[in-house]
Amino acid sequence: MRIAAVELLRVRLPLVRPFRTSFDLELDRDALLVRVRTEGGVDGWGECVAPTWPGYSSEYVDACVPLIRDHLLPRVWTVTDAVAAKAAMGPVRGHPMSKAAVETAVLDAQLREEGRPLAAYLGAVRDRVDCGVSVGIPTEDEADPMGSLLAEVGEYVDAGYRRIKLKIQPGWDLDPVARVRERWPAMPLQVDANAAYRRDDLPHLAQLDAYDLLLVEQPLPEDDLIGHARLAQLMRTPVCLDESVVSVAGADTAITLGAAGVINIKPGRVGGYLESIAIHDLCRSAGVPVWCGGMLETGIGRAANLALAALPGFTLPGDTSASDRYYARDITEAFVLHDGRIDVPTGPGIGVEPVGIDALVDWREEHLAP
């Protein structure tokens, strides 16, 4: 495989409902896509999951564009596969979401030329994956926040999702969790704080043990591994890390310290699917369950995440929800929930193609190989 051109495209998709977390309120998805075109005329696609502003991490989409254009593309023009692309981008410090987008586009192009599905390349063992869904915090203008929450959860339960995740923050935690657990006592349930709490809140967080949760995700800041380890000693509920884990070494440190009983693997957060495999393998050898998180991906990113979530160590339902959870119209053929599961794409590469994408593109620029 030889790269002939790379195109950067931005598309904006409205969400079917606002999605509020402890750090942001999102009304649409401003997605940066990377298309790698080979000399053989094959297109490979990657999606940069960086949000509009640096709230989840230091990366944001406006900064990813020049980073990819000026620092990553010059390093990958001569690579012939994704392993070489990952190594070539290595000297650029940080910026995992930008690197993941480029690596994925290269990998998709490589596998399409080889006629191999991404799932087979990664080592998938399932052709369908169990799906959970993430439920945001009601917006501040809701007249009946609790009623809105219960109605939304009810929709997803009726749709067949196999796990519910509630976003929480200080002032919106014990009561909504108690109400959801009371209404659905047998539904697998977990919570996600997106680093909204501090060490002084550990006794308060330990009260979540009363609700039979699968896990409590990233309650403390990403750099506070000791705080997470102390919380793990206070709680029966497993502590799961998300933002804290950005590499294999980081995952190993968190596990060794007792800060992570579960790890959420997001390819964008860790720099791509190759690093995701390595973290999966480390966790599996350590007996630590993993699951695949979501970043409001379009069908491009969702397809690749489904392939990853089919690996053997992904024993908990992920956030690989159906397309209609977020979008009235996706940029690929819609992913549909069947009995709480979604089929893993079987075509070459990520197994999906953009549909009618030109009508959705806000901005694009093409770069030719030197």
Q: What is the per-residue pLDDT across 299-315, written as a single tens digit (0 to 9) for each? A: 999 999 999 999 999 99
Asked if 163 and 298 sit in the same domain, the reply is yes
* pTM (2 d.p.): 0.97
Please name the residue ranges forming H helices in 184-271: 202-206, 225-234, 248-257, 267-270
Asked if 173 and 247 sit in the same domain, the reply is yes
Tell whether 350 is covered by a domain.
Answer: no
SS3 13: strand
Q: Which residues are CB-neighbours of 131 under 8 A, at least 6 positions away?
A: 161, 162, 163, 317, 318, 320, 321, 322, 337, 340, 341, 342
Region 93-98 average pLDDT:
98
Q: pLDDT value at position 216?
A: 98
Work out how many domains the chain is built from and give that number: 2
Tell whether 278 is covered by a domain.
Answer: yes
Residue whose C-alpha is closest to residue 219's, from 178, 264, 272: 264
Q: What is the per-residue pLDDT across 143-173, written as a single tens digit (0 to 9) for each? A: 899 999 999 999 999 999 999 999 999 999 9
**Band of the pLDDT at 97, cuts 50, 70, 90?**
very high
d(CA 207, CA 239): 13
Expressed as residue numbers, the domain containing 241 is 120-343
269 touches 96 (CB < 8 A): yes
Asked if 89 and 224 sit in the same domain, the reply is no
Q: Is the dihedral of CA 167, 168, 172, 174 positive or negative?
A: positive
Region 123-141 average pLDDT:
96
- What letters, b where the CB count within 10 A reaches 16 and e where it falls short, cover 256-289? eeebbbbbbbbbbbbbbbbbbbebbebbbeeebb
Q: pLDDT value at position 3?
A: 98
Query: Cβ of 356: how many Cβ atoms within 10 Å?
Result: 9
Write the burial class of residue 157 (CB in 10 Å: 0-12 exposed, 13-18 middle, 19+ buried).
middle
Tell whether 352 is covered by a domain.
Answer: no
Asked if 308 and 361 sit in the same domain, the reply is no
Q: What are phi and psi of 26, to 5 degrees?
A: -110, 135
Query: Can you give 281-314 as a three-state secondary structure string?
Result: HHHHHHCCCEEECCCCCCHHHHHHHHHHHCCCCE
In whole angstroms, how far apart are CA 159 and each of 20, 155, 163, 333, 339? Answer: 21, 6, 11, 19, 8
Asked if 126 and 194 sit in the same domain, the reply is yes
d(CA 204, CA 105): 44
Mean pLDDT of the chain: 97
Region 51-78 average pLDDT:
97
Q: pLDDT value at position 141?
A: 83
Q: What are phi and psi of 301, to 5 degrees?
A: -70, -35
Q: What are phi and psi of 20, to 5 degrees?
A: -110, 135
**Band of the pLDDT at 289, cuts 50, 70, 90?**
very high
Query: Cβ of 324: how many Cβ atoms within 10 Å?
Result: 15
Region 104-109 average pLDDT:
98
Q: pLDDT value at position 351?
A: 98
Amino acid type, 264: N
Asked if 148 and 280 sit in the same domain, the reply is yes
Asked if 330 and 233 sit in the same domain, the reply is yes
Asked if 137 and 216 sit in the same domain, the reply is yes
Asked if 48 and 103 sit in the same domain, the reply is yes
Asked if 247 and 363 sit in the same domain, the reply is no
Q: What is the per-residue pLDDT across 173-221, written as a single tens digit (0 to 9) for each? A: 999 999 999 999 999 999 999 999 999 999 999 999 999 999 999 999 9
d(CA 317, CA 292): 8
Asked if 99 and 140 sit in the same domain, the reply is no
Tell whether 303 is covered by a domain.
Answer: yes
The answer to whether residue 263 scores a pLDDT higher than 90 is yes
Tell whether 169 is covered by a domain.
Answer: yes
Tell whether 21 is covered by a domain.
Answer: yes
Share of the chain above pLDDT 70, in %: 100
**Band of the pLDDT at 140, cuts 50, 70, 90?**
confident
CATH of the domain at 188: 3.20.20.120
Tell whether 349 is covered by a domain.
Answer: no
Region 110-120 average pLDDT:
98
The answer to whether residue 142 scores a pLDDT higher than 90 is no
d(CA 161, CA 324): 13
Point out the residues that are catalytic: 167, 266
Amino acid type, 12: R
Asked if 97 and 245 sit in the same domain, the reply is no
The answer to whether residue 297 scores a pLDDT higher than 90 is yes
CATH of the domain at 91: 3.30.390.10
Tell whether 149 is covered by a domain.
Answer: yes
Region 5-34 average pLDDT:
96
